[in-house]
Amino acid sequence: MRRMRNVKIVATLGPASSSYEMIRALHEAGADVFRLNMSHGSHSEIAERHKIIRQVEKDLDSTIGILADLQGPKLRVGAFAKGEEELEEGQAFRLDLDPAEGDAKRVNLPHPEIFAVLEPGASLLVNDGKIRLKVEKCGKDFADCTVTVGGTISNRKGVNVPDVVLPLAALSEKDRKDLEFVADLGVDWLALSFVQRAADVEEARELTKGRAAILSKIEKPAAVKAFAEILAVSDGIMVARGDLGVELPVQNVPPIQKRLIRQCRAAAKPVIVATQMLESMIESPMPTRAEVSDVATAIYEGSDAIMLSAESAAGDYPIEAVTTMNNVAEEVESDPTYTDIIEASRSSNKRSVADGIVAAAREIAESAQVKAICCYTQSGTTALLVARERPRVPILALSSSAKTARRLALTWGTQCVVTDSLDRFKMAVVNAAKAARALEYATTKDLIVVTAGVPFNTSGTTNILRVAPCDERLIYATDPE
C-alpha cells in the first residue's frame, strides 16, 4: 500500500479500535504502525489485537509495524480517609511511609526509594503537575513540604520527581512479564518507559534477546541530560512531550523536541513525536488549528513518525484522526519550504563508506531524474542510512526478512517489500526493478538507483551502488552473468 507522504503515522489501539474492520480501516486511512499500550488490556486482548493486525497485513499484502509500549514503574500516593482533600497554596503537607489513610496534613507515599534521594528544595508533582510541593525537610521515611500550587488531591494520584535521578529500574515486575509476553508474540518494536540512563536500555535489550527493536521514551529530565548515551544504545526514540511537559517548564519542550529530532536524524535512528497531537479529536471530528500546527511542526522538523494515543484508542473519531494526520502530512510535504528545511538540516558528519554510498545515491537520484532509491537490506542499516539523507525521491526497502521490513515501517520515507533471499547483487537489481514498477514508482523506461551491502546477509556493509534501468530485460542484457 503506497503512501503519498514520507512521515509515518503510529496509531494506538484500544477499546475504540479493536475489531478487524476498524484496524483495517485505520491502516487504509494511513496508519503505518500500530501501538499496543501495555498499561491497558490483558495479555489475551493484546494477543487478539496482534493477531488481527497480522491478518490485515496478509489480506492487504502490506507491511505493518507493531509497537508494544511498556508501562514502566508507577509512583503514586496512597489513599485518603475522605477519598480526597483540598490543599491550599502555602500550607504544610507531609508525605511519609505510614500506611494509614491520609488527611489534609499528610498522606502515604509508599516509595522509600524516593525518600532516599530527596533533598530540601526538590519539587514533587502530583496528578500530572496539577499540585506542586516543595521539599523543606526530609528523611529516609518522610518529606515535609510546602504546597506551591494547590488543588484537589485524591486517592492514588501519580507523583513525578523531576529534580533527581531515582534509584529505580525502568522495568517493573509487570514490565518484565509484559516484555517476555510481547517479545514471544512477535512485536517489532518495544517502547521502554521511565528511561533515565543508558543502563536502563541495556537491561531491556538483554531481556529482549534480539526479538524486538528497542525504542526509548524520553519523558524525564534525566533522560534529556543523558540523551547522547541513551541514543547510542537505542534503536529508536520517542519524544513523549506529555510527561516532559509535566516535569519541565512547558516552554522548554519545543526546543528539546527539535534538538532530539536532529540528533536522531544524524544517528540514522527513527524518532517518534508523541502525546496530545490531536487530542481534541477524542471528542470532536475536527482538530483545533493549534493541533494541526503542532503536527505540521513535527513534520517540518523531520521526525520519522507522529503518533496518536487516546485519539485512536478510545476516541469517538479514530478514522478521522488518522485521516487528518495523513492529510496534514501530505500538505506539509508538498510545500517547497518543507524541502528547504529538511535539506538545510541534513547532517554533514559522514565518515564511512556506507555514508558515502547513500549520499551518492541521493545526489544521483536527484540530479539524473532517477525515480526511486531501492535498498536491498537484511538488517535495515542500508535503508536507515538512505532515510537519514531525506532524499526527494521515494525509498524502496527490499528485504528477505519480514522482521526487518516491519521494523522499517517506522522509518521516514521507506516503502517496505519482503522479497526472496538473494546471494547475487544482479538479482537484487532485478527484484528492485520489478518492485518499483509494481508500486508504480517507475516504468520500464525509467531509471532507479540500487544500493546494497556485499556480501549479503552481513549487517553494516553498505558498499555498492548501481544506476539501473527499471526493465529486467535490459539488466540481463547488460549483465548476463
CATH number at residue 425: 3.40.1380.20
Q: How much is the average pLDDT of 329-333?
A: 98
C-alpha cell read off for 365:
537520484
Same domain, 294 and 330: yes
Same domain, 156 and 174: no
Q: How much is the average pLDDT of 348-371?
A: 88
Whole-number Å distance between alpha carbons of 445 and 371: 10
Which of 12, 63, 275, 377 is catalytic? The answer is 275
Which of 24, 217, 241, 466 is catalytic? The answer is 217
Residue 481 scores a pLDDT above 60: no
Same domain, 21 and 121: no
Same domain, 206 and 237: yes
Mean pLDDT of the chain: 94
Q: What is the 3-state secondary structure (H, E, C) of 83-136?
A: CEEEECCCCEEEEECCCCCECCCEEECCCHHHHHHCCCCCEEEECCCCEEEEEE
Name the band, by pLDDT with cuts 50, 70 and 90, for residue 423: confident
Residues near 121 by beta carbon (within 8 Å), at least 6 away in sequence: 134, 135, 163
Same domain, 67 and 185: yes
State yes or no: is 209 an active-site residue.
no
Whole-number Å distance between alpha carbons of 159 and 170: 16
Q: How much is the average pLDDT of 16-27?
A: 97
Q: 158: which DSSP letter?
A: B
Same domain, 44 and 90: no
- In angstroms, the Cα distances linking 314 to 113, 143, 278, 465 are 34, 37, 13, 46
State yes or no: is 259 an active-site residue.
no
Name the band, by pLDDT with cuts 50, 70 and 90, for residue 283: very high
Residue 460 scores a pLDDT above 80: no
Q: Tell whether the torsion through CA atoms of 276, 203, 223 and 153 is positive or negative.
A: positive
Cβ distance 172 to 71 under 8 Å?
Answer: yes
Same domain, 139 and 245: no
Place of cell 512531550: 241
Same domain, 311 and 174: yes
Same domain, 386 and 463: yes
Q: How much is the average pLDDT of 114-135?
A: 94
Same domain, 153 and 178: no
Q: How much is the average pLDDT of 295-314?
A: 97
Q: Which of 259-273, 390-404, 443-457 has the lowest mean pLDDT?
A: 443-457
State yes or no: is 35 an active-site residue.
yes
Same domain, 299 and 154: no
Q: Which of 24-28, 192-196, 236-240, 458-462 has the lowest mean pLDDT?
A: 458-462
Q: How much is the average pLDDT of 103-121?
A: 95
What does the pLDDT read at residue 163?
A: 85
For 134, list phi and psi in degrees, rounded to 5: -110, 125
Residue 457 scores a pLDDT above 80: no
State yes or no: is 94 an active-site residue.
no
Which of 3, 54, 76, 130 is catalytic? The answer is 76
What does the pLDDT read at residue 31?
A: 98
Q: How much is the average pLDDT of 179-197?
A: 97
Range of the domain at 232: 8-72+170-335
CATH number of 263's domain: 3.20.20.60
Higher-pLDDT residue of 209 and 169 is 209
Whole-number Å distance between alpha carbons of 296 and 361: 28
Residue 463 scores a pLDDT above 80: yes
Cβ distance 320 to 281 under 8 Å?
Answer: yes
Which of 35, 132, 388, 407 is catalytic? The answer is 35
Q: How much is the average pLDDT of 62-72?
A: 97
pLDDT tens-digit profile of 141-169? 999 999 999 999 999 999 999 988 898 88
Whole-number Å distance between alpha carbons of 35 and 189: 9
Same domain, 219 and 267: yes
Query: What is the tally of structural domains in the chain?
Result: 3
Residues near 122 by beta carbon (within 8 Å), at least 6 away in sequence: 134, 135, 138, 161, 163, 164
Which of 397, 393, 343, 339 lies closest to 367 in space, CA to CA?
Answer: 393
Residue 479 scores a pLDDT above 80: no
- What burial letters (b/e) apply to 325-344, b meaning 16+ CB within 10 Å? bbebbbebbeeeebeeebee
What does the pLDDT read at residue 128?
A: 87
Q: How much is the average pLDDT of 123-128?
A: 93
Name the band, by pLDDT with cuts 50, 70 and 90, for residue 480: low
Name the band, by pLDDT with cuts 50, 70 and 90, for residue 274: very high
